[in-house]
Amino acid sequence: MTVTLKDFYADWCGPCKTQDPILEELEEQWTDVEFEKIDVDEKQEIANEYQVRSLPTLIVENDDGVIERFVGVTQAEDIEKAFEAAGA
């Protein structure tokens, strides 16, 4: 089963810059999870599809669909629980 974390961000978003080091550390630890960074200014259609209204928004999904959605800066422990729930 494929587990993906979609990171919706923008270059002008201060909280997104706070989120980045947390995600970088997780990406090193969770090699079986795919990490996608989605710039909402460049990929508005994807942001609309996922109904992203605030930044940062993190979406953890697997082959069955969205498992967890986080809005705002999210701690590593919470994201890891979502990875486990998604089957990573």
Span 6-19, pLDDT tens digits: 999 999 999 999 99
Domains recognised in the chain with CATH numbers: 1-6+30-88 (3.40.30.10)
Task: Encode pLDDT of 16-74 as tens digits.
Answer: 999 999 999 999 999 999 999 999 999 999 999 999 999 999 999 999 999 999 999 99
- 16 catalytically annotated: yes
H or E element at residue 17: helix 14-29
Q: What is the three-state SS of 52-85? A: CCCCCEEEEEECCEEEEEEECCCCHHHHHHHHHH
pTM: 0.96
Here the tokens at position 41 are: 């200014």
- 12 catalytically annotated: no
Q: Which of 3, 16, 52, 58 is catalytic?
A: 16
